[in-house]
Amino acid sequence: MDKKKSSRRVYDADFRSDVLKMVFSGRSVVDVAASLGIRENLIHKWKSRYKETTGSSALKSPGSETPIVSVEEYERMKVRLREVEQERDILKKALGIFSRTT
C-alpha cells in the first residue's frame, strides 16, 4: 500500500499577522479563510493563540520584539470602530428619510 505523506503548509509570522489584522478589522473568519484559501479552524487557532499571549508573539513587527498593536490600543480601536459604524448607520437612515420624494 502506498501511503502519501500529507504535506502541511507552513505560514510565516507576517502572513499570520496579516490574517489576524483582517479578522480584527471586522472581516469574518469565514470570509478571510475563503478569500485566502485557508482553513477556518487554522485562523481560529491563531486568534486564540494571540489572545492567550495577549499579542506578545502573534503580532510582532518583523525583526522586532514589540507587538504592532497593544491589546489596550486594539480594544480602544474596536470601541471607536463600533461608534463610527453606528454614526454611519444613523446617517444612512437619515439620508434615506430625507431623500424620499412625496
Q: What stretch of H or E contains 46?
A: helix 40-52
pLDDT band for position 43 (cuts 50, 70, 90): very high
pLDDT band for position 3 (cuts 50, 70, 90): low
The residues spanned by each domain of the chain are 13-98
For residues 71 and 75, what is the distance between their CA atoms, to the nearest angstrom?
6
* H helix count then E strand count, the chain: 4, 0
pLDDT for 88 equals 95
Question: Using an 8 Å Cβ cutoff, are 45 and 32 in contact?
Answer: no
The average confidence (pLDDT) of the chain is 81
State mean pLDDT over 51-69: 60
Record the pTM. 0.47
State mean pLDDT over 24-47: 90
